[in-house]
Structure 1
Amino acid sequence: MKAITVTGLSAAPGAGGGEPRLELGEADKPQRRTGAEVLVRVLCVGLDGTDREIISEKYGVPPEGDTTLIIGHESLGVVEEADPATGLKPGDAVCALVRRPCTVPACVACRNGQQDFCESGAYVERGIKGAHGFLSEYYVEEARYLVRVPAEALPYGVMTEPQSIVEKVWSEVQRVQQRLVWQPKTAVVLGSGPLGLLAALTCRCLGLETIVWSKAPADSAGAQLVRECGGVYKEAEDAPAAAAGAEAGAAVSPLSAFLAAQGKRADLIFECTGFSPLAFDAMEALAPNGVLALLGVTPGSRSIRISADLLNRELVLENKLILGSVNASRRDFETGLYRLQQMEERFPGVLGKLVTERLRMEDVPQLDFAKLGIKAVVDVVPQEQWVQLVRAEGAGAEAEIAYSFTV
């Protein structure tokens, strides 16, 4: 079968190896070994910043004993082979969870099915760390890591994985904010990449006034999408050059200044850029009792000067909360599917506009991530053929999908 692999990686992120390269090659078609496993034919795979970092930062780790890594962790596929006991049937559209639990007995999170909170760091992630991903014609996976995708969500089902990241944050925020009577009104999203835009759409579905602060121009496609869903887009400003050598704490960040000028308080901030100076600006801009969710992974070793005493004082006296989040659970995936359908219902066509490039597998080896628009999706099977492969809802007694989720 055809597969997109990365060569030049080593057994540890960022260590040794050659220069990472994307290649389209042949791989053995995977076979089911147990009745719990399912053979899935891949329809399409989304590409994101992690895939870019695997190439630019040597971030990926191939499976043990292998020298290459099949990339791709945002999947949409169709079941080709499954035992009845799995609850899945040929023709079911599915997406797959990314992380697999570690085998460390002392990791209570993984032992209880919460591998997204793994304590040991010895987890495996498909297409990222220690396991092949989904950018191939087929993959085999245990049924417990597969989530059925409703037929009506097929056009945007590939976005379930990134949306699950947003849903995990909202789920955590709801739990933590039970500490007080919390009535959030304004959310700020930092960044207008795919994750930032999904966060903005989620906030609009939750009824929050939403401001997106991003470096992209005000006439960009992302900015237009923000306005279409009723959000406010603000092209980010750089801190004044004079502030670089000023007394720590003397300068107010452009983000804080903008919010103050608008008379807004940021009850919830999603940091989706991975630009660490902006994360510290967000701590200052956060309203009392507010929550800052850090979703962007920061490569490199940047150092900045911060007003540490001021930030510490504000965090303590104003009950601010900062949480980091990555990966997600099955429940987050199921909530993500619900939310994507809600977005499409409230803002028809908006999810289709998030996908700015549809590629073939043959296009990937020559791909320049820097030239991509909002979201690139690789079609392993041409879209016009999907309807012939996917079982329609209602075509069987178990066609209705029952989910367990939080909204």
Structure 2
Amino acid sequence: MKAVVIRNGADRQYVTVAELSKPQPIRPDDVLIRVLAVGLDGTDREIVQDRYGVLPKGSEQMIIGHELLGTVEQAGPESDLSPGELVTVLVRRPCGDATCTACRHGQQDYCQSGTYTERGIRGADGFLCEYVVERSRYVVPIPADSVSYGVLVEPQSIVEKVCSQIAIIQQRVRWEPKTALITGSGPLGVLTALTCRTMGLDTHVWSLSAKDSINARLIRRCGSFYHEAGTAVTGEADADADSDAGAAVQTDRPFASGLDEFAASRGIRPDMIWECSGHTPLAFESMKLLNPNGVLAILGVTSGSRRLDIPIDLLNQEMVLKNKCVIGSVNASRADFENGIRRLQEMERMFPGLLGELMTDRLTMEQVPGLDFSDVAVKAVVDLTGR
């Protein structure tokens, strides 16, 4: 079978299309999945363009890709699945550390030892290939009528994890959020805007993408307000983890991007802020914008060593005296995947066709090794159906 792999080279890793043996089910709960599509995100960009990949121990290569949509080709007798079912697969696998309480209880997205593996990212083969074998405990069924957008379940699960965390945290107070602010308008930014709109929130998106871009049009189509950040910043923007690009960094004043000035000029006082640009300074800049009891959610991680002068005492006062909370989300559980499926169905009912428009670039496997992610309009998906 064909697969996109990252390999160790003489000087550095490289990504290529390879011919590998088709995997075979062995255990009674194994499931053989025929891959229909695989979404690409900021982590894949780091792997493909920056040659970042943690290969399985003792191996010289790893299949990449972690956003899977497929159909069950063969189901083991103990899998509780049937051939023909539409499915996706969880990304993270538990560590083997007996002292890790989270992994022992099926909460590997909260792994305490840090020795987990992630398919297609860290220490385990991924899904950007024609066939995948997986144990049924990690396979999540998707309704057949969600096939056109089912590849978005994994990224949506990251958003849903935040929603579940917020629901738990905010039991501390009677909380009736009205306004959300999202930084970044990449795939996660758009999905977050859609999520906030399903909650009935006034939703503002602040991003470097032009006001006439596809990103901006998708944001406005779901009833959110789009604000172009480019006029509020100067200098070159850093590349981000999953979105357009974060705002430029200047260190001559505490809040350098203009986010605080923008929000103040528009009278925006958010109850929730979602940092989806992958530009770390925005997370710290945005803390003081929150209403009392508000939540700042940081989605994803980025590499690098960005520096920013910030008034740390002011931020400390904001969090302590006004009961503000900061949470992060980069991996999700089965429950989050299942909630993501339901949320995507709700989005499709409320905004028909918008999820399809979000997936702007359809690729073949052969196009992946040389892909320039800056050329992707919003979301790239590798289509293995041959259509």
- 1:21 CA displacement: 2.1
The Cα shift of 1:372 comes to 1.0
Aligned residue for 2:142?
A: 149
Judge conservation of contact 2:295–2:325 (CA < 8 Å) in 1: yes
Q: Is the 8 A contact 1:186 1:265 kept in 2?
A: yes
Task: Give the CA deviation at 1:244.
Answer: 5.0
Q: Which residue of 2 is the match for residue 361 of structure 1?
A: 365
In the alignment, the residues of structure 1 paired with residue 233 and residue 292 of structure 2 have an alpha-carbon distance, to the nearest angstrom, of 23
What aligned pairs does 1:223-302 form with structure 2 within 5 A after superposition? 223-237=216-230, 238-239=232-233, 254-302=258-306
Counterpart of 1:380?
384
**Partners of 2:5 and 2:17 within 8 A in 1:** yes
- 8 Å CA contact 1:20–1:56 kept in 2: the answer is no
Alignment partners' CA distance in 2, 1:186 and 1:158: 29
Shift of the 252–141 alpha-carbon distance from structure 1 to 2, 3 Å rule, reads: closer
* Matched residue SS, 1:277: helix
After the TM superposition, which of the residue ranges 277-286 and 334-343 deviates more from structure 2?
A: 277-286
Superposed CA offset, 1:57-115 (max 9, x none): 44321111111111000000111111243110111110000000001011100000000
Equivalent pair of 1:255/1:285 in contact (CA under 8 Å): no
Percent identity between matched residues is: 55
Residues 1:239 and 1:364: Cα distance change in structure 2 (over 3 Å): closer
Q: Indicate how the Cα distance of structure 1 residues 95 and 279 shifts in structure 2: closer, same or farther if over 3 A, else same.
A: same
* More off after superposition, 140-149 vs 366-375: 366-375
Label 1:281 to 1:140 Cα distance change in 2 as closer, same or farther (>3 A): same
Question: Is it true that 1:216 corresponds to 2:209 in the alignment?
Answer: yes
Cα pair 2:63 2:129 within 8 Å, conserved: yes
Match of 1:91 in 2: 84
- Supply the AA of the counterpart residue of 1:226: I
Q: Partners of 1:231 and 1:73 in 2: how far apart?
A: 29
In structure 2, distance between residues paired with 1:150 and 1:72:
22
Question: Alignment partner for residue 330 of structure 1, among 328, 334, 340?
Answer: 334
Counterpart contact for 1:275–1:296, Cα < 8 Å: no
CA distances 1:222-261 after superposition (whole Å, capped 9, x unpaired): 10011000000001154579x9565x65x68622222222
Unaligned runs of 5+ in 2: 236-248
Match for 1:68: what amino acid? Q
2:369 maps to amino acid? P
Bigger mean CA deviation after superposition, 149-158 or 78-87: 78-87
Counterpart-to-counterpart distance in 2, 1:253 and 1:312: 20
C-alpha contact (below 8 Å) 2:14/2:51 kept by paired residues: no
Letter in 2 for 1:348: P
Residue 172 of structure 1: aligned partner: 165
1:173 Cα deviation (Å)? 0.3
Say if 1:7 and 1:240 are closer, same or farther in 2 by CA, change over 3 A: closer
Does structure 2 retain, via aligned residues, the 8 Å contact 1:194–1:375? yes
Opposite residue 332 of structure 2, the aligned amino acid is A
Render the CA deviation track for 1:126-161: whole Å, top value 9, x for unaligned.
000000000000010000100111111001000000
Aligned counterparts of 2:43 and 2:302: Cα–Cα separation in 1: 11
Task: Identify the residue that residue 8 of structure 1 maps to in structure 2.
Answer: 8
Counterpart of 1:344, as a letter, is E
**Kept after mapping to 1: 8 A contact 2:5/2:62:** yes
Amino acid at match of 1:2: K
- In structure 1, the partner of 2:30 is 37
Change (3 A) 1:245 1:204: closer
What letter matches 1:91 in structure 2? G
Question: Which string of whole-angstrom CA distances, capped at 9 and with x for unpartnered residues, describes residues 314-368 of structure 1?
Answer: 1111111001111000000000000001000000000000011111112222211
Where in structure 1 are there 5+ consecutive unaligned residues?
A: 10-16, 384-407
- Label 1:299 to 1:216 Cα distance change in 2 as closer, same or farther (>3 A): same
Q: CA deviation at 1:187?
A: 0.5
Length, aligned pairs only = 373
In structure 2, C-alpha distance between the alignment counterparts of 1:317 and 1:127, rounded to whole Å = 42
**CA 1:244–1:32: 2 relative to 1, 3 Å:** closer
1:55 is the counterpart of 2:59: no
Counterpart secondary structure, 2:369: helix
The Cα of 1:8 is off from its aligned counterpart by 3.1
1:29-65 CA-partner distances (Å, limit 9, x unpaired): 1111110111111011001100011234443211111
Q: Which residue of the partner structure matches residue 198 of structure 2?
A: 205
Q: 1:5 is matched by which residue type in structure 2?
A: V
* Kept in 1: contact 2:251–2:308 (CA 8 A): no
Say whether the 8 Å CA contact 1:44–1:158 is kept in structure 2: yes
**Partners of 2:57 and 2:227 in 1: how far apart?**
46
